[in-house]
Amino acid sequence: MNDRDVVIISFARTPFGKFGGALKDAPATDLASMAIAEAMRRSGIDTKAVEALYAGIGMIGANVLTAARQALLLGSGLSETVPSMSVDRACCSGMTAIGLGFKDIRNGGADVVVCGGFDSLSNTPYLWPRQRGIRPGKVDVSDPLLLRADFLDKAIACYTGEEAERMGVDRQQQDEWAVESHRKYFTAEALGYYAAERFAVDHVGTTLASDESPRADASLEKLARLKTVYSSPTVTPGNAPGLNDGAAFLMLSSRRFARVHGLTPLAQIVDYVQVAGGPTSGSTTPAVAIDRLLERSGKREGDIARFEINEAFAATPLVSTLVLANGDRGKADALRERTNKAGGAVAIGHPLGASGARLVMTLANGMRREGSGLGVAAICGGYGQGDGMMVAVE
């Protein structure tokens, strides 16, 4: 332990709403402001001590100019003199924001930073390109929620399914993982697991206290009847998360600040890495990030008590654990028993910018419930990017 250790003092997230659900009328910046304020309230830290806000946004800046700055000013409780930064690293954005705060504190550039992410996919607008010239002509309107890139000419769901099949991860395995994600979520929910993370949101007469997407009646029979999407060989609406709305933020401080102010850390952030690969390598980048963390720490997979791998699709943790196991299916199965033990994004939902931060708080939450040890969270995002974070609970 040393004074520049980076510790988590508090965390808070909104319930994750369905696309067009209870939070559809709440702007992304409002959701972020509420989550920042709640994380601050839970921390007991004076708002004057906060030195920066880093916020990840996964989908076109939450549709506003300087989204993080607007969230700060809308009622977060933070001073208008606090600098902020909006981070765009697709689904990695929320974890990247925490990584920026981690680096600031570890390197002595700050003592208290608020980090996290948010998105309202229900409010993501269509894109109508600005017209050039004066002649009449065809106008094409595009929907960014199709999650595809012109340079690939296929949707993420399509190439994810293709890469999963190349790894021997078929539709059946993905459906099985998806059903388990819902089952594990409800088991954890019954034990009060997510009550430590969530707070109820009241907006324009609507109150949401729990996540909207989890389905208690999810079954293999129901998932098997679903058609695949976007020409994917395996991905369906049942083995992928929905398009969601939500925000998640954490309060980070140096160990010295926590000690001087009588604060009890929830966990320590040990290390953080960013990785990138080919544009269709998303299902493997969490494994690459985890390997990098293990190498830097001198640890092995067996030293990690708990893994959180974002379920961008059910295929993602299945492929990544197989890569971590070097293709050994028995070893992969053993890793999967320690992965997403309270369910994952297929059940909870995936507001792109918030998910990386949600993973870190879910990891710290789970580690605290289990006792001391090491845990790792990893996420893929945006055409071959990945982030990983190692967390310790003392």
Q: What is the pLDDT of residue 117?
A: 98
Q: What is the CATH number of domain 6-124+241-393?
A: 3.40.47.10
Q: Exposed, middle or buried by CB within 10 Å (0-12, 13-18, 19+), for 202?
A: exposed
Residue 149, pLDDT > 90, answer no
Contact (CB, 8 A) for 219 and 325: no
Residue 133 CA: distances (Å) to CA of 130, 136, 137: 10, 9, 10
Q: What is the pLDDT of residue 205?
A: 82
Q: How many CA atoms lie within 13 A of 234 on its CB side?
A: 27
**If you compute the radius of gyration of the chain from its CA atoms, what whole number of angstroms results?**
20
Q: What is the pLDDT of residue 394?
A: 84
Q: Which residues are known catalytic residues? A: 91, 350, 380
Q: What is the pLDDT of residue 204?
A: 78
Per residue in 278-302, pLDDT (tens digit) is 999 999 999 999 999 999 999 999 9
Residue 54, pLDDT > 80, answer yes
Concatenate the DSSP letters of all residues of 16-33 into one string.
Answer: PBPTTSTTTTS-HHHHHH
Question: Could you give the residue ranges of the DSSP H alpha helices within the chain?
Answer: 28-43, 67-73, 93-106, 156-166, 171-190, 220-224, 255-260, 285-297, 315-324, 329-336, 345-348, 352-370
Which of the pair, 133 or 364, is modelled with greater confidence?
364
Residue 190, pLDDT > 80, answer yes
Per residue in 246-264, pLDDT (tens digit) is 999 999 999 999 999 999 9
Nearest to 193 by CA among 18, 14, 347, 341: 341
3-state SS assignment for residue 247 = strand
User: Can you tell me the distance from the alpha carbon of 203 to that of 211, in angstroms, rounded to the nearest whole number?
Assistant: 15
User: Can you tell me the distance from the alpha carbon of 339 to that of 378, in angstroms, rounded to the nearest whole number?
Assistant: 11
Q: What is the pLDDT of residue 75?
A: 92
pTM over 0.85: yes
How much of the chain, in percent, has pLDDT values that exceed 70?
99
- Domain residue extents for the chain: 6-124+241-393
Average pLDDT value over all residues in the chain: 96
**How many residues appear in the chain?**
394
| Mean pLDDT value of segment 90-104 | 98
Residue 391, pLDDT > 90, answer yes
